[in-house]
Amino acid sequence: MKAYDVIVIGAGHNGLTTAFYLAKARLRTLVLERREVVGGCAVTGEIDPENAPGCRVSTAAYMASMLRPEVIRDMSLGRHGLKMVAADPAVQIALPGGIVLPWWNDEKRTHAELSRFSRKDADAFFKLDRELKSLARYLQPFFLEPPPQTAATGLAGLLEVIRVGRRFRGLNGRVISDLLTFLTGSLEQFLDRYFESEEIKRLVLANNLYGKHGGPGDPGSAMGLLFHLLSGGEDEKQGFSGHVIGGMGAITQAMSAACIEAGVNIQTGAEVKRIETSDGRVTGVTLSSGDTIQAGIVASNADPKRTFLKLVDPEQLDGDFRKQVQSIHMDGPAAKVNLVLNEEPRVTGMPPDAPALQKMLFTLVPTFEQAQRCYNAAQCGELEEELWVDCVWASAIDPQLATPGHHVLTTFVQYLPFEPAGGSWDQYRDWLGDRVIEIIGRYAPNVPAAVVARDVITPLDLEQRFGITEGNIFHGDIRLDQLFFMRPLPGWAHYKTPIEGLYLCGAGTHPGGGVTGAPGYNAARAILKR
C-alpha cells in the first residue's frame, strides 16, 4: 500500500490535531480510525436508533471547557462549522428541599445567590476565586509546551532551568505554599477553612472532581479547582465552559474537515493491529485486515497501556519499561447514562422564567460524606446507592438534537468501579440506568415517567466502545505522580517513546485529559523538532 511520512493511530480530537499540524508542515499524513466515525470520545450519536430515531446526544464527552484557542484559530474550526455557546451558569446544583444554586458568570449576580446562605461566605467565595485564578495563571504557560527535561545535564539542563524558572518569576513563598496545598491537599479540608455554608461548599465541590480518582476527603482532591480555571475557548477565558451546538461531535467533525483541507488522508473502519518495528525504530503499522502501511513516524492517540502493551511487540520494549506502563493507574470511575424524554425535565426550585441556558444544566452532587463513601465503596468494587449525577438537557438550547416532542438529557455518573465485585457490568447495567433515573426523579419528579429511551454506558463500555483502557476518560488518572514530567512515565514525558519514530499524542501525555487539543498540539511540535 501507499507509504506515508506519518501515520496517526486514532481519530480522536488529539489525533486530528496532531495530523493537522503535521500536514500543514507538508508531511504526508494518514489517520487510521478503528471505528466507522471520527471523534473518539468527542462524538454525537443517536441514543436509541430503534426506539427514538433521530434523537442525538454527546455520547461520551459532553461539555467543552479548555479547548485551546490556538487550535480553534489554526484549524479555523469556526469556518468549518464549530459553534460554542458559553455556559451561564457555568455550574448549577440542585439540592434537597427545592434549592437550586447557580454559579453565574456575573460576579454580582452570583454574590446575591450565595448571600442567601451566607453573606460572609459570598465575600470569601470571590476572594478565593481570584486567588485560584492567579495560581492557575502560573500553570497556564505549561499547557502548550513540554514539561521540564528533568534528566537534562550540561548546557541543555541549564537552558531548561532558565525556561522553567521564567514561568515562575515573581512567585513568592505564600504563593508556593498555596500551590502545594492545592496539589496535595484535601478539597474538604480546604473548603472548611473558607466556608461555613454547606450549600456553597457543595457548589464548589460540583466543579472539581469529574472523572478523577479520589473522594473530596482524599489528599490531592483540591487539584481540580485549578484545572477548571485554566483558560479555553476562542477568547481564552479562564474557567470557560461551553455547550457545543450539534454536540461534541461538532468539534471533531470540524477538525476532520480542517485536516482534509490540509491534505490529511483519514480512513475509518481501519483498526491497527500492530505497530511494526525494525532494529529499534518504527516502520509502519499492520491493520486487522492484514494490510501493512509503511511510515517513518507513527503517532499513537491511543492510551499508553493500549499502545505499548497491545500494539507493540513485547520484545521491542525493555521489561522494566513495560512494568512501569502496567503500573499506570487507570480503572476509570465514571459512566454515562443518556436519556430521551417525551417532556422537558422540570427541576423543583428552578425559577419558572429561567432561560434555557440555566434550565439545561444541573448537578445532583452528594454531600461530602456521601461522595467519600461512594468513592471508597467503588474502590472495593461495590456499587453505592448515592451516586454523583451531572445532568445536561442539551436539546434545551439545541433543538436539532431531538425530534419534535422529544428532549435529550445526558448524564455523567461517578463514582463507580471498573470491575463490580461479584458480577459484571452486563449484570449491573440496568441497575445503573434505573438508579440514575431514580436519583434524577428526586429533583425533577416528572423525569422517570417521561423516559422513552436510554443508553447506559458503563466503565467497561467506555473501554470496549471507545478503546480506552479500563474506561479511563483521561488515559491515565489525573494525580500528582502522573502529571507534568511524570506523564505518562518519568523520563518519557516529551511525546517520544523508547522506539525511534514512535510518539504518543493522546491524553495520556502532558498536559492530560479533557477536550483541549493540547497533547496533540504539543506532540506535533515535538515530531517536527525531531
Q: Read off the pLDDT of residues 106-143 as tens digits, 9 standing for 90 and up.
A: 999 999 999 999 999 999 999 888 888 888 877 777 77
Structure confidence by residue, pLDDT tens digits, 375-412:
999 999 999 999 999 999 999 999 999 999 999 999 99
Contacts from 2-6 at CB under 8 Å and sequence distance 24+?
2/293, 3/28, 3/284, 3/293, 3/294, 3/295, 4/28, 4/29, 4/30, 4/265, 4/293, 4/294, 4/295, 5/29, 5/295, 5/296, 5/297, 6/30, 6/295, 6/296, 6/297, 6/298, 6/299, 6/527
Cell numbers at 452, concatenated = 422513552
97 part of a folded domain: no
- Asked if residue 420 and residue 299 are part of one domain, the reply reads no
Confidence of residue 50 (pLDDT cuts 50, 70, 90): very high
60 part of a folded domain: no
* Residue 159 pLDDT > 80: no
50 part of a folded domain: no
Residue 339 forms beta bridges with which residues? 409, 454
- Asked if residue 319 and residue 195 are part of one domain, the reply reads no
Contact 65, 241 (CB under 8 A): yes
CB atoms within 10 A of CB 442: 13
Phi, psi of 472 (to 5 degrees): -85, 115
57 part of a folded domain: no
Range(s) of the domain holding residue 216: 108-236
Confidence of residue 164 (pLDDT cuts 50, 70, 90): low
Helix (H) or strand (E) run with residue 18 in it: helix 13-24
What is Dmax (Cα atoms) for the chain?
Answer: 69
What's the rounded Cα separation, in Å, for the pair 419 and 425?
A: 7
Q: What is the mean pLDDT of residues 305-321?
A: 96
Residue 45 forms beta bridges with which residues? 57
Judged by average pLDDT, the poorest of 40-54, 285-299, 472-486 is 472-486
Contacts from 109-117 at CB under 8 Å and sequence distance 24+?
114/197, 114/200, 114/203, 117/197, 117/199, 117/200
Model pLDDT, residue 426: 94
| Residue predicted with more confidence, 412 or 422 | 412
Confidence of residue 156 (pLDDT cuts 50, 70, 90): low
* Residue 172 pLDDT > 70: no
53 part of a folded domain: no
CB atoms within 10 A of CB 193: 10
- Among 416, 447, 466, give the residue marking a domain's end: 466
- Asked if residue 169 and residue 121 are part of one domain, the reply reads yes
Average pLDDT, the chain: 92
- Asked if residue 445 and residue 376 are part of one domain, the reply reads yes
Phi, psi of 294 (to 5 degrees): -90, 145
DSSP 282-340: EEEEEETTS-EEEEEEEEE-S-HHHIIIIIB-GGGS-HHHHHHHHTS-----EEEEEEE
CB atoms within 10 A of CB 315: 7
| Residue predicted with more confidence, 65 or 487 | 487
> Judging by DSSP bridges, how do beta strands 388-392 and 242-244 pair with one another?
unpaired
Confidence of residue 208 (pLDDT cuts 50, 70, 90): confident
Q: What is the mean pLDDT of residues 8-33?
A: 98
What's the rounded Cα separation, in Å, for the pair 81 and 21?
A: 19
Cell numbers at 5, concatenated = 511520512
* Residue 101 pLDDT > 90: yes
Sign of CA dihedral 397, 402, 403, 406: negative
Sign of CA dihedral 379, 383, 385, 386: positive
Q: What is the mean pLDDT of residues 210-239?
A: 81
Structure confidence by residue, pLDDT tens digits, 318-338:
999 999 999 999 999 999 999
- Asked if residue 220 and residue 161 are part of one domain, the reply reads yes
- Among 431, 447, 466, give the residue marking a domain's end: 466
Model pLDDT, residue 400: 97
- Number of structural domains the chain divides into: 3
- Asked if residue 116 and residue 231 are part of one domain, the reply reads yes
* Residue 275 pLDDT > 80: yes
- Asked if residue 395 and residue 461 are part of one domain, the reply reads yes
440 part of a folded domain: yes
* Residue 263 pLDDT > 80: yes
* Residue 454 pLDDT > 80: yes
Residue with cell 495560581: 135
Q: What is the mean pLDDT of residues 153-165?
A: 58
* Residue 230 pLDDT > 90: no
Model pLDDT, residue 150: 63
- Asked if residue 356 and residue 438 are part of one domain, the reply reads yes
* Residue 231 pLDDT > 80: no
Phi, psi of 253 (to 5 degrees): -65, -40
Judged by average pLDDT, the poorest of 151-165, 289-303, 480-494 is 151-165
100 part of a folded domain: no
- Asked if residue 459 and residue 484 are part of one domain, the reply reads no
pTM passes above 0.85? yes
Model pLDDT, residue 475: 93
- Asked if residue 194 and residue 158 are part of one domain, the reply reads yes
Percent of residues, the chain, with pLDDT higher than 90: 77
Closest CA to 55 of 436, 361, 448, 404: 404
| Residue predicted with more confidence, 175 or 494 | 494
Model pLDDT, residue 166: 62
* Residue 148 pLDDT > 90: no
Contact 453, 52 (CB under 8 A): yes
Model pLDDT, residue 213: 87
The string over 113-152, giving b where at least 16 C-beta atoms fall within 10 Å of a residue's C-beta and e elsewhere, is: bbeebbeebbebbeebbeebbebbebbbebbbbbbbbeee
Phi, psi of 117 (to 5 degrees): -110, -35
Contact 201, 93 (CB under 8 A): no
- Asked if residue 221 and residue 271 are part of one domain, the reply reads no
DSSP 8-state secondary structure symbol assigned to residue 2 = -
Judged by average pLDDT, the poorest of 42-46, 304-308, 483-487 is 483-487
90 part of a folded domain: no
Cell numbers at 233, concatenated = 475557548
What's the rounded Cα separation, in Å, for the pair 334 and 60?
A: 10
Residue 499's domain is classified under what CATH number?
A: 3.50.50.60
DSSP 8-state secondary structure symbol assigned to residue 415 = -
- Asked if residue 425 and residue 339 are part of one domain, the reply reads yes
SS3 sequence, 112-168? Answer: HHHHCCCHHHHHHHHHHHHHHHHHHHHHHHHHHCCCCCCCCCHHHHHHHHHHHHHHC
- Among 466, 482, 502, give the residue marking a domain's end: 466
Q: What is the mean pLDDT of residues 226-244?
A: 79
DSSP 8-state secondary structure symbol assigned to residue 389 = E
Model pLDDT, residue 115: 97
